[in-house]
Structure 1
Amino acid sequence: MSANNETLSAEQQKEMLQKYDQESAFRYLTGFMAKVVFFGLLAFSLYQLFATTIYPLPAQMHRSIHIGFGLVLIFLLFPATKKGRMSGKIAWYDYILAALGFGVGAYWPLMYEEIVRRAGEINQFDMFVGIVAVLLVLEATRRSVGLPITVIAALFLAYAYWGRQMPGFLIHRGVNLDNLVQSMFFTTEGILGTPIAVSSTFIFLFLLFGSFLVKTGVGQYFNDLAVSLAGKRTGGPAKVAIFSSALQGTISGSSVANVVTSGSFTIPMMKRLGYRREFAGGVEAAASTGGQLMPPIMGAAAFLMIEFIGIDYWTIAKAAAIPALLYFTGVWIMTHFEAKRTGLSGLSDEEIPDRREVLKKIYLLLPIVAIVFFLSSGLSVMRAAIYGILTTILVGVLREERFRKIYPIVFGIVFVLTLVYGWITGGASITSGLITAALATVFVSYFFDGNFKETIEALVDGARTALAVVAATAAAGIIVGVVTKTGLGLKLANSLVSLANGQILLTLFFTMIAAIILGMGSPTTANYVITSTIAAPAIILLGVADLPAHLFVFYFGIVADITPPVALAAFAAAGIASGEPIRTGLNAAKIAIAAFIIPYMFVLQPQLLMIDTTVIELLWILFTAVAGMIAIGAGLIGYWYRKVYWPERIFAVAGGLTLIYPGVLSDVIGLSVFAILLSLQFFYMKNKIGVPETRAKA
């Protein structure tokens, strides 16, 4: 397609990511150290697969090794300053820090029996190791994640130590240095706590799954599929961005990475069609940010909910499905009205790929379908991720056309033989037959096609992506440890409820502000850990169930990426579109207005999360919600079937909000306003009032 000529090159995408995404700001090494880091990353992935599938280690051992790998590789890859990144060389002190990180990671495995035998008592050398571990985690977090979360973790440590000097309700008896170091590194309440536990199991495996998906070429296929399905519609490129970014969210846990990957393709198309720069960037930022909200694979923080709430991941993904669809429906409505207002049509036939050729590659979506099947069938999250990786490798095999006929034969023969063996011995099931057949097919692929290199690269890329998550979850563990040790979470929750005078809407509003502020410049994972331990309890205190409360803070931690003044996803989109960053952020926030409304909806109406509801109730809620977003979209954009004038725009937004707010009376009022506005639209359409001369083809 001609649009492809306008996309950013791989080098330009790399520069954009390094500028706006702290997690991608690593050195590009050459020579001997490049090989050392390459094999270090490979060893990290292989260890994770070994420890989570074949030979599980005790929790403290495994988590410590996980952190050790992360620290060593972060100090070798991420420089202390931007100048160091430009040089591409490792500073002498980074070797020292990497060596210390290795020592910290090895301490628990080497001293495990003695530490357990002492039952919590630590000696002077333990103190030294614990202090070094905390300092290394803070510095690694600063380098790979950013300063905000590092400062917050340091402030929490200071709060724990100087508790007696704190004012008002924040005062506590204080935690001495021995107890603080012990809780931070020698229990499962600090650095080795729940966040790093989830990072070392669920998150890492799903990051590997995403890395394998990239190697199969599924990212480009998402773009081709989106163009073929939505390219010819009104304002086609904007709708391509929405469709593509919703799919890209399954392989990217970062809003900024999603913007750069899909935005380098969609933003030039939108600009060429006639969209304003800031609006084009805003569409991509809003759509890319929503990728983390879209099941089956949501942002990394969603996996933390498994441990924090104590429910399975499939329940979380199922609950998040309808809100995510409503979010993208809202973005679609806004872009559609903008395209209609400005008279923008879709792409030409020459710019649309051959639909038959696109559909021939539909098998590339098989890993995502497989993940949904595995998760919904009751398998554990870790096993589902492993099976998903195997499915992705199998799909990669099917790309080779010259051997495509051989693989089904190999797969079928091995599958039948496995079932026959199981029938004879009573030891094999359909699941084990499928896995054995898949592995045999992969082996044949390596023998004939040499796909082994792609697998190695996927393992290395997955480990590199995980480094920032390791640092963020370790720092988040410090925060959780302090909250647990001091009872700060309950204190802040009570004060938040008191500030809101016990009003649910005010409490939700204050929680939203806190989540957005904490999310500015911080990864979603760390943001969720903080807000789920501090802000979510305030909502729960007012009688809201755990799942809606946690999804509420999860949503707004993600929305922070498009909320000015620090809207990293919007700034990255502005860089691609050559637009003004703040205006792009404001456009993104306006386009994603649904994200600021939907969390209130599912807290006030848990039926939206498919909790204690019937099909009829759910359909009615969806109908009023979509109608409300149409009205709000028309009011904010200023166009529906024709121009919407200011008095009508005010009524449209108000009517939309009443439709979204739960209640019979509010629904009646909202539907009445909606019907009146729609009638006026058709009346003025008939009389050609407010209708542009050039109309877009719907």
Structure 2
Amino acid sequence: MSADQQGNRPLSEEELQDLVASSDAGGRDPAGSIGLFLAIVAVIWSVFQVLLASPIANYVLPGSVVNNARQFHLAFAMFLAFAAYPALKSSPRNYIPIQDWIMGVLGAFVALYGYFFYTKIVDAGGLADDTDKWIALGGLILLFEAARRALGPAMAIIATIFLAYVFFGSSEWVPEVIRWKGASLKKAMSHMWITSEGVFGIALGVSTKFVFLFVLFGALLDKAGAGNYFIKMAFGALGHLRGGPAKAAVVGSAATGLISGSSIANVVTTGTFTIPLMKRVGFSSEQAGSVEVASSVNGQIMPPVMGAAAFLMVEYVGISYVEVITHAFLPAAISYIALVYIVHLEAVKRNMPTLGDREVHLARTIVGMASFFLVFAGLCYGSQFPVDAAEAWVPSMAGLVITAAILLVYVGLVAMAAQVPDLEPDDPNAKTVELPDISKIYKAGLHYLLPIIVLVYFLMIEQKSPGLSAFWATALLFVILATQKPLKAIFRGNSEVVNAFLSGVFDLWEGMIAGARNMIGIALATATAGVIVGTVTLTGIGQVMADLVEAMAYGMTYFAAVFVHLISPATDMIGLTAFDGTIAERAQDMTGTTLVFVLMCVGLLSLVLGMGLPTTANYIVVSSLMAGVVVELGAQSGLIVPLIAVHLFVFYFGIMADVTPPVGLASFAAAAVSGGDAIKTGFTAFFYSLRTVALPFVFIFNTDLLLIDVTWVEGIVVAVFATIAILVFTAGTMGYFVTRSRMYESIALVFVAFALFRPDFFMDRISPPFTSVDPSALVETVGETPVGTEVRLVISGPDFDTLEMVDTTVVVPVGNEEGGAARVEAMGLLLVEEDGLVKLDEPLFGSPVADDLGNFDYYGDEAVRITSVNLPSSQPPKQLIYIPAMILLGLIAFLQRGRAARQEVPA
């Protein structure tokens, strides 16, 4: 049945652009002088943000403006939100009603209130007076309305619920477990609007300092023509393979994801070309849309932009930007590799035809693409050497020399681009599809790689701030947009140089408008999420949420223990009994399982909230509520979970909300392009994205996947076997490896993938990773332990808030002090041996264990004590597990290859 027969039809190009505009940039675009005025405001915002990120910000902008940049950032966003986003579907789109003008101006004013009355607020110590509190309340109402228009009602509703909890949290109708004393209007408004704890907090600061520049960078790069270039290159490299359009969609979306933080825009940009071609070679409308959704949504997990989350992680986790994208890179890369493999398996299963008449050389294609990425990485890395040479030869003029060299390279690359025709978007519905010839078109866009190289150089080599790095890359894009067309005209001998220059300036103008309008929703999302974060810090609801989730997880653990208890006779028969004793004892033994249930609760919360919140806001809310919970419960279970792993876990599940029915916006956008059913598209995309669901659980328990504390050699080994693992997992879940898999083969493939992802799981059971020491021998043991050895201590004691006995695990390195007593004291442990127990006094402030042990009540009836001391034991390398796993994989391949050969033999 066709799409039209089902009542679905592909949207026209105009309708698709309207869909993107209404979701990302605002659906209202008035013509005439009003339209010009809005365009000027958007460009002024872009220029302001560029100047703010520049090295000359303190020279060209007043200090008061720089210090209050967040207020100006939100003021622009609120004014443009009321101007660009209609209040209702029935509201006019060709002009701005008077009430929207009023709300836009008022919104900008209340956002700038802290700037206009900065002295008064500082003199009052940040405490609101009667005027401040009413202005702040009006500001919140206007902010919520702007967020409702730009982001949908969910964000405003959730923020309103949290704000209501601030005021009415002491009411009797509030469940006792989350009840608190409540706050006055003046105190709440001080916290939410006047200080930097609420709306103008970290999230809006990150949006102001970093995110805008990267969004603008992406908009300018796309306006220059890079998006079309990336798609054509991907299609030229992969289009001739079986399922080629789908593979091109994946690679093209990955490249587009580098410059776009929007799933919907990515779907529409690449999908209008790839989805019809996917349908042409045999993919159904839903499958074609699902491939595009899965690849476009994954663009947000691909460094360096990561949908703005990377910059938030810098602030929330407290590590450098380079560390964030280093940790995020491998999971994102193997996730895309797996998606290419998924569409390959779909094409093989369905015996899909190839496009064009080009001879298929799979190995050559893989080598060619790998070579391109290696060359690109080499250029990024090697760029430091000419820079170092210039700084050594002419230190006083190194900046000018480097700038001149970049411009010369740029002019040379544009001269190469002028030798071939400009790339025009292809018609995917043409009767005959001509595959782009990479050898002929690659010259057309090599100069687009220069800004990316500059960005990567400043981020990774110079390790400058993300804002400054994006500034230099954006500055180069300004030059490219303004000059590429006139330079091409000159090199081609065209006399229309002036017109070409004016066309380039117009492209730059439109790019700055697009960047500003794309930022409206992100700025409002971070500001509104600040209300939720402010509620957490003001009321302490975060700890209550931790207790609730912990109770839920322990409840699930108890039921799991009941199940184990019920099946234990059967397991006894085959010698697999893991637990002895009562159900309670079994539940106690399954504390590691509790963390899995907590992670499931966090993932579910991210999915539910993500149905109405944009990815960035979803990440802010869930990480603020739950990141600390996961780390704390992990420590109680004996697992030290790095904070960055938890934040990436939350982020991965947040982006899955763009896929998951019934609200997944990216799935609806893809269905609008393909004419397929949106719900079916969403479910199919979720199935294709199973690896995105599985990977976060893997890197929580195996942080090697995030390249944490691994050497270069170990990192390469992890990357190789993680890639094999994700491909094997894909084959297992797709039911196809060498040929169609039988059920037991699929289960075996998933088992192999688990072994490759978690070799430590099996090695720890073969050879325990730790040796237990009696706590009373701690001082003597630490005195004899080599310097730098990490000692794992399990501390038990009453929780400061609940007074219930809890355990937590801390890892402390052994110092180089003389004697065990001095080393223990240097750790911050104040030991008191009494009643046969090794008790602890409250650690000194600033000592290594002070933060980890700060949640205990040291003055209650129950003493805080050390219950376990564990030292690393001599364990065989966990990589040995790879050997039997690969043997099993080879056996499965051997069995399937034999079956496939028999199936090919004619009867």
TM interval, shorter chain, is 0.7 to 0.9
Aligned-pair RMSD on alpha carbons? Answer: 2.5
**Is the 1:604–1:662 contact (alpha carbons within 8 Å) kept by the matching residues of 2?**
no
Question: Which structure carries more helix by proportion?
Answer: 1
Q: Does residue 606 of structure 2 align to residue 391 of structure 1?
A: no
**Is the 1:567–1:585 contact (alpha carbons within 8 Å) kept by the matching residues of 2?**
yes
CA offsets, 1:516-537, max 9 Å, x none? 1111131111001101101111
**CA shift at 1:492, angstroms?**
1.3
Match of 2:447 in 1: 363
Q: Does residue 298 of structure 2 align to residue 290 of structure 1?
A: yes
More deviation, 116-125/189-198: 116-125
Q: Does residue 150 of structure 2 align to residue 150 of structure 1?
A: no
Query: How far apart, in 2, do the equivalents of 1:685 and 1:141 lie?
Result: 56
Q: Does residue 255 of structure 2 align to residue 254 of structure 1?
A: no
**Counterpart residue type for residue 565 of structure 1:** P
Question: Which structure's relative contact order is higher, taking Cα pairs within 8 Å and 6+ residues apart?
Answer: 1
* TM-score normalised by the chain length of structure 1: 0.88
**CA shift at 1:635, angstroms?**
2.9
Change (3 A) 1:446 1:154: farther
Match of 2:725 in 1: 628
Mapping for residues 461-610 of structure 1, pairs under 5 Å: 461-501=514-554, 502=591, 503-541=594-632, 542=634, 543-610=640-707
* TM-score normalised by the chain length of structure 2: 0.68
Change (3 A) 1:49 1:626: closer
Change (3 A) 1:595 1:57: farther
**Counterpart residue type for residue 466 of structure 2:** V
Query: How far apart, in 1, do the equivalents of 2:74 and 2:643 lie?
Result: 29
**Is the 1:7–1:268 contact (alpha carbons within 8 Å) kept by the matching residues of 2?**
no
Match of 1:101 among 98, 103, 107: 107
Query: How far apart, in 1, do the equivalents of 2:691 and 2:355 lie?
Result: 27
Q: Does residue 730 of structure 2 align to residue 645 of structure 1?
A: no
Change (3 A) 1:230 1:58: same
Change (3 A) 1:323 1:37: same
Change (3 A) 1:70 1:664: closer
Query: How far apart, in 1, do the equivalents of 2:164 and 2:655 lie?
Result: 27
Query: How far apart, in 2, do the equivalents of 1:670 and 1:88 lie?
Result: 63
More deviation, 654-663/23-32: 654-663
Match of 1:63 among 53, 66, 70: 70
Query: How far apart, in 2, do the equivalents of 1:38 and 1:261 lie?
Result: 23
Match of 2:131 in 1: 125
Change (3 A) 1:175 1:274: same
**Counterpart residue type for residue 64 of structure 1:** Q
CA offsets, 1:317-343, max 9 Å, x none? 121111111110111111111110001
Match of 1:73 among 60, 76, 80: 80
Match of 2:893 among 675, 678, 694: 678
Q: Secondary structure at the match of 2:117?
A: helix
More deviation, 332-341/556-565: 556-565
Q: Does residue 19 of structure 2 align to residue 16 of structure 1?
A: yes
Query: How far apart, in 2, do the equivalents of 1:671 and 1:195 lie?
Result: 45
Change (3 A) 1:24 1:486: same
Q: Does residue 167 of structure 2 align to residue 161 of structure 1?
A: yes
Mapping for residues 420-459 of structure 1, pairs under 5 Å: 451-459=504-512
**CA shift at 1:105, angstroms?**
2.9
**CA shift at 1:8, angstroms?**
7.3
Match of 2:792 in 1: none
Change (3 A) 1:575 1:657: farther
**Is the 1:446–1:452 contact (alpha carbons within 8 Å) kept by the matching residues of 2?**
no
Query: How far apart, in 2, do the equivalents of 1:571 and 1:655 lie?
Result: 35
Q: Secondary structure at the match of 1:553?
A: helix
CA offsets, 1:68-87, max 9 Å, x none? 111111111111101115x4
**Counterpart residue type for residue 686 of structure 1:** A
Query: How far apart, in 2, do the equivalents of 1:464 and 1:393 lie?
Result: 18
**CA shift at 1:36, angstroms?**
1.8
Match of 1:333 in 2: 341
**Counterpart residue type for residue 681 of structure 1:** Q
Change (3 A) 1:389 1:8: farther
**CA shift at 1:235, angstroms?**
0.7
**CA shift at 1:358, angstroms?**
2.0
**CA shift at 1:652, angstroms?**
2.9
Mapping for residues 22-41 of structure 1, pairs under 5 Å: 22-41=23-42
Q: Secondary structure at the match of 1:90?
A: coil
In structure 2, runs of 5+ residues without a counterpart are 1-8, 359-432, 555-590, 635-639, 764-880
**Is the 1:64–1:108 contact (alpha carbons within 8 Å) kept by the matching residues of 2?**
yes
Query: How far apart, in 2, do the equivalents of 1:595 and 1:529 lie?
Result: 19
Q: For the pair shown, which has the larger CA radius of gyration, 1 or 2?
A: 2
**Is the 2:536–2:542 contact (alpha carbons within 8 Å) kept by the matching residues of 1?**
yes
Change (3 A) 1:692 1:621: farther
More deviation, 163-172/370-379: 163-172
Q: Secondary structure at the match of 1:67?
A: helix
**Counterpart residue type for residue 380 of structure 1:** S
**Is the 1:60–1:188 contact (alpha carbons within 8 Å) kept by the matching residues of 2?**
no
More deviation, 44-53/197-206: 44-53
Match of 1:665 in 2: 762
Match of 1:441 in 2: none
**Counterpart residue type for residue 509 of structure 1:** M
**CA shift at 1:127, angstroms?**
1.6
**CA shift at 1:25, angstroms?**
4.3
CA offsets, 1:18-71, max 9 Å, x none? 5xx633442121223212211111222222223343235467622112211111
CA offsets, 1:126-147, max 9 Å, x none? 1221011110110000000111
Count residues in correspondence: 647
CA offsets, 1:536-573, max 9 Å, x none? 11122123111111111111111211122222111211
**Counterpart residue type for residue 37 of structure 1:** L
Query: How far apart, in 2, do the equivalents of 1:178 and 1:685 lie?
Result: 74
Match of 1:423 in 2: none
CA offsets, 1:627-682, max 9 Å, x none? 33333322332322222233433333344334333426384664454233211111
Match of 1:656 in 2: 753
Query: How far apart, in 1, do the equivalents of 2:103 and 2:679 lie?
Result: 38
**CA shift at 1:446, angstroms?**
10
Query: How far apart, in 2, do the equivalents of 1:299 and 1:141 lie?
Result: 18
Match of 1:372 in 2: 456
**CA shift at 1:88, angstroms?**
2.7
Change (3 A) 1:554 1:293: same
Match of 1:263 in 2: 271
**CA shift at 1:275, angstroms?**
0.9
Match of 2:242 in 1: 234
**Is the 1:340–1:639 contact (alpha carbons within 8 Å) kept by the matching residues of 2?**
no
Q: Secondary structure at the match of 2:233?
A: helix
Query: How far apart, in 1, do the equivalents of 2:653 and 2:64 lie?
Result: 36
Mapping for residues 128-139 of structure 1, pairs under 5 Å: 128-139=134-145
Question: Which structure carries more strand by proportion?
Answer: 2
**CA shift at 1:445, angstroms?**
9.7
CA offsets, 1:102-151, max 9 Å, x none? 32133222211122112123222212210111101100000001111111
**CA shift at 1:158, angstroms?**
0.9
Query: How far apart, in 2, do the equivalents of 1:448 and 1:594 lie?
Result: 47
Query: How far apart, in 1, do the equivalents of 2:676 and 2:500 lie?
Result: 50
Query: What is the percent sequence identity of the aligned residues?
Result: 34
Match of 2:840 in 1: none
Change (3 A) 1:141 1:402: closer
CA offsets, 1:460-501, max 9 Å, x none? 111111111111111011111111111112321233234323
**Counterpart residue type for residue 605 of structure 1:** N
In structure 1, runs of 5+ residues without a counterpart are 1-5, 407-443, 694-698
**CA shift at 1:178, angstroms?**
0.7
